[in-house]
Structure formats: C-alpha cells, structure tokens
Amino acid sequence: MPTFRGTVTIDHPSLGGTGTNTWHVRTTGSDPLDAPELGGLSSILEDLYEDLVLYLASGTVVTFDGVWTSVEAEPQINATDGEPFTFTSEASQAGLPPANAIVLGWRSSLATRSGRGRTFMGPLDSVTLGPDGTVADTQLGEIQAAADALVDASTGFANGAFVVYSPTDALARDFISVSISDQFAVLRSRRD
C-alpha cells in the first residue's frame, strides 16, 4: 500500500512568507504511478479546507496543487491523480496575530508520539477569539465538526485513508479521531 505526501500552501501578508500543511495518505493499490484513489482523497481534503477557510484571516489563500509524492519509492515519484483546489478567505473581521493558531490533533490506533499528528490552522479571523481569550465555543464546535467529517470520510473511504506517517518507523497509521483544544497554539521554528 503506497503512502503519499501532499502539501497545502497558506499565503497571507501577516505570515512573512508562505505557510504549509503537510498531509499523508495511503492507497490500496500497489503501483504508486497508478493511484486513481488520490482524487477521492483530494476531495476529502478539499471539503475540510472549504469549511476551515471561513475562520481564516481575510485575504488568506489556501492552495493545493493536486500533486501527491510517494514517500516510499526511490527516487520519489509525483503522482498527479489528485484534484487541485484554491480557496480565499473573505472574512469580515480583523485577523488575529499570526502566532495564534488552532491545532487539529490527529490520532491513530497507536497512542504514542509517532501515532499522533498535528495540523496548525492559521492565520485566524478574530471571530475565533472568545471573550475569555480562548477559541470561541461556536467556532470551536464548527471546526471540530469539519475535522470529524474528514476522519469519517477517511475511515469510510474504501480505497485509502488519511494517515499519521512516522518517518522513523516508516509506517502509516490511519486517522481514527481528532481532538481540538480551545487554547491557541504557536507553531515555532525547529531552529529556535
């Protein structure tokens, strides 16, 4: 079962550059060059970002080029069976500081660090800020529902799934749940 990596780019002037979210999926086929199921997995990812763009700062552009790269083949192979998408936030509120992010915590059947993944979502629209300085309850519930929908669609997809990929173990473990804290998080550079 080939495992692929896809990158969603996030562009907003407050970021001082382009941010990325890296996703891993597995397919049920045996040939990384022939993976038509990547189109269906791209559609699941598109649905997630279509829901999440409502909570991003105005003018944020989210783009996926439709390219999934095999993480196991040497040399790495780009499969172009994915579906590209682009969304632009049209939020009406001011944006929060770019360091404020919401973290989607993906869980697999292995309850260790290599069995968990994280996706940082930002820059955020100020509508996500609750009166007590945490993520607003309504928006938190809607973001949780969107992330749960990705997990449900992934587990219900017969020809592949979204996975937590451990490069150390070279293993891909299917998403089984997602949790989101009401606390904002900061994504720090590994060079800090």
Residue 54: per-residue pLDDT? 94
Mean pLDDT taken over the chain:
89
DSSP string, 19-47: EEEEEEEEESSS-TT--THHHHHHHHHHH
Give one DSSP letter per residue of 101-122, joined into a string.
Answer: BEEEEEE-SS-SGGGEEEEEE-
Cα-Cα-Cα-Cα torsion 165, 161, 79, 35, nearest 10 degrees, comes to: 140
Average the pLDDT over 30-56 and give the result.
87
Q: Which two tokens stand for residue 133?
A: 């300085």
Residue 174 and residue 166 in contact, taking contact as beta carbons nearer than 8 Å: no
Give pLDDT, residue 187: 79
pLDDT tens digit sequence for 111-126: 888 789 999 999 999 9
- Sequence-distant (≥ 6) Cβ neighbours of residue 118 within 8 angstroms: 103, 104, 105, 106
Report how far apart the first and last C-alpha atoms of the chain are (Å, whole number). Answer: 36
How far is it, in rounded angstroms, from Cα 2 to Cα 8?
20
Rg (CA), the chain: 16
Least confident range of 4-8, 79-83, 115-119, 163-167: 79-83
Mean local confidence (pLDDT), 24-42: 80
Q: Could you write out the DSSP letters of every residue in 66-86?
A: S-EEESSSSS--EE--S--EE
**Lowest mean pLDDT across 27-36, 51-60, 109-118:** 27-36
The residues, any chain, with a CB within 8 Å of residue 17's CB and separated by 6 or more, are none
